Structure 1
């Protein structure tokens, strides 16, 4: 019960802080058909941030990273909150970009520029925030920018890794950059998927066949975790192919969510995406859990979710470094409040401006 109350408390602080900061900056959530998916993205980003608080809380060292201090039954639940959220991110991306691959107007160049401007400006801003703050913290010797910058950027081949002023990039970012590697792999695959889909008549059957293939292939490969990422992508693809949008009742959606979580034992295996497929499909069809996912604070959280996802690691690193001696509640509350302030600021002055640049490019290309 202690961990449930704590988790809810930290989550509430983060949501309220993001909402207040976003309103003061004049940030407005975009209105579109899939508003509930924005809310879902926001909830998942916030849960990842709270999830990482517990990884740091078991020891004084800046580099402590373990959940071994928590009882195994509670640890499993904490694992699921963070790891399932990442799986949902993969499904969201796959759903949105598979829909682009199914469109007749798909343009590879525009897509590449769009994705570049979406990923790299916020990542670079995050890296320089890490550089400045770790220089001030003086946890190690100064590392020249050219020694860590390129190796800290996500590419499709391997997860980035470097030490910045004596601080591991994995600790400073809460290790989230590895997910961007898989996102980039998805982006790289989308143009090829577009070509293939033009020749496939029964797209649902094709995607289901791929899912069956992955389920069978797990018996031939040792790393089921990697296959689970592919399954999350395929689950998102499958949702994108289903044209039916009949909304079930919120009560049924809550029941389906409960059943999916009940049967889930590990987030990163090849069967869990099948459970989460059902949940994700109901939200795509308009389920918002009695208005929760489309409420103003949650959609605001969704608007700033990518910046929150990137920035929460360094806010936790700084808060723990300076405030750990005052107790867990103090440094963890400060970390949540700081992330809730910095994320909307980064969204407004980095993310949204890179989006404006992308739109200007698209308009110029049409002229």
Structure 2
């Protein structure tokens, strides 16, 4: 079999689920009320799909030195469609908040504090690892002018909004993270667009906040244009409206619609070589709408192991690239890894799958979850500070 045979994904995926099952016995996570179980179950599989997508890209990168999409529609979609669906999840959840704001007005200060606490702590941990790796690769000696080094570090620290420059002359620095940080500026752009969307929906929002956030969002877009992802956000927002219409939601929550969701996902892969076409976006929107309405893909997404994997989605997404790089550079050796047969390459990815899940589990429990639990306390502190400064009444 070639390295691009889809059957290779089965073993690492199985090992990941077995690892999650074992870890969840050590520290189980109780179900959280009021959440969309099928979406929670989806997120972990999306993140793991991105890991396998990048694992295949590494096969070509080791041989050509070029970080390019694999010549496989399946593996292209495995990563790209996962990110599109992540963006749909984001839009679904936050446009949903705006739709519900007639009864529960949005606390904008807490919303933005919660986003910082959700994304920043783990991201800073990833940056600490990235900067350390760059230091080791350059023997801790400055290789570029100080101003250039500081600019690169600054861009990376702020979610690579200003770009993903090489750090201290390390070539292809972005490949150390498998390039995953490209999506975070767009995530922040969406959050900053929410006040403007709220005004268009006639929700209560300070005008100054909407204007300031819109200016920042446009600034992010200027450096991070990705039109396909705008359609992903639009699709997620449309689904948020859809599921709040009982007649429409009930129509999409029927047993045979699990099969329809699977067909839509398969159609997205078969309709184009990558996600940057109209047909895949439309089909992914259909699939996501069915899943958000309750379709669980024949029980897969409500399976307890899928729910547990979903909790680890952000850690898997953000940290897997660093683990791929470190295992190749410091464990296997690039010369040996580049000579691997397709079978050996997939044995490597299969062996790495439990490590990725375990590291993500540790990161979730030591960084992500404590930070999320501290959101209310930090929101109260910021509120008191802004009140003393006269910025809040």
TM-score of the aligned structures, taking structure 2 as reference length: 0.77
- For 2:170, the equivalent position in structure 1 comes to 166
Q: Judge which range, 144-153 or 335-344, deviates more.
A: 144-153
Partner residue in 2 for 1:97: 94
Residues 60-79 of structure 1 correspond to what in structure 2 (within 5 A)? 60=62, 64-67=66-69, 72=71, 75-79=72-76
Name the structure 1 match of 2:218. none
CA apart distance, 1:283: 1.0
Residue 341 of structure 1 and its aligned partner are, at CA, apart by 1.0
Question: Contact between 2:152 and 2:164, CA under 8 Å: does it hold in 1?
Answer: no
* Unmatched runs of 5 consecutive residues or more in structure 1: 201-224
2:137 is aligned to 139
Q: Is this contact kept in 2: 1:58–1:64, CA < 8 A? A: yes
In structure 1, what is the equivalent of residue 328 of structure 2?
Answer: 320
1:167, 1:348 → 2: CA distance?
33
The one of 4, 9, 12 aligned to 2:11: 9
> Structure 1 stretch 329-338 or stretch 315-324: which is displaced more?
329-338
Change (3 A) 1:253 1:146: same
> Which residue is 1:253 aligned to?
258
After superposition, what is the alpha-carbon deviation per residue over 1:104-154, rounded to whole angstroms, capped at 9, x for unaligned? 41122111111111111111011112233454xx43332679564322134
Residues in 1 aligned to 2:155 and 2:65: alpha-carbon distance in whole angstroms = 20
Q: Which of 285, 295, 299 pairs up with 2:303?
A: 295
Aligned pairs for 1:112-191 within 5 A: 112-135=112-135, 138-142=136-140, 148-155=152-159, 157-163=161-167, 166=170, 168-191=172-195
Per-residue CA deviations over 1:167-208 (Å, capped at 9, x if unaligned) read 6431111111110111000000011111210179xxxxxxxx
Superposition map of 1:214-253 within 5 A:
226-242=226-242, 243=244, 244=246, 245-246=249-250, 247-253=252-258
TM-superposition CA deviations, 1:239-261 (whole Å, max 9, x none): 11122321533433223431453
> Which of these two proteins has the greater Rg computed from alpha carbons?
2
Deviations 1:214-249 (A, max 9, x none): xxxxxxxxxxx8322111111111111122321533
Residues 197 and 54 of structure 1: is their aligned pair in 2 closer, same or farther, counting only changes over 3 Å?
A: same
> Take 2:254 and 2:29, find their aligned partners in 1: how far apart are those partners?
31
How far is 1:359 from its partner?
2.7
Contact 2:95-2:240 at 8 Å conserved across structures: yes
1:217 alignment counterpart: none
In the aligned structure 2, how far is the partner of 1:300 from the partner of 1:188? Answer: 30
Q: CA RMSD in A?
A: 2.9
1:84 is aligned, of 77, 81, 85, to 81
In structure 2, distance between residues paired with 1:56 and 1:88: 23
Distance 1:329 1:92 in 2: 30
CA distance, structure 1, for counterparts of residue 133 and residue 163 of structure 2: 22
Q: CA deviation digits over 1:82-122, x for unaligned, max 9?
A: 10111001100001011122214112211111111111111
Whole-angstrom distance in 2 between the partners of 1:5 and 1:133: 33
Number of the residue aligned with 2:20: 18
Corresponding residue number in structure 1 for 2:146? none
Aligned residues: 336
Structure 2 SS opposite 1:287: coil
Task: Return closer, same or farther for 1:59/1:185 CA change in 2, 3 Å cut-off.
Answer: closer
**Aligned residue number for residue 355 of structure 1:** 372
- Greater mean deviation of Cα atoms: 155-164 or 263-272: 155-164
**What is the rounded CA distance, in whole Å, between the counterparts of 1:171 and 1:319 in structure 2?**
13
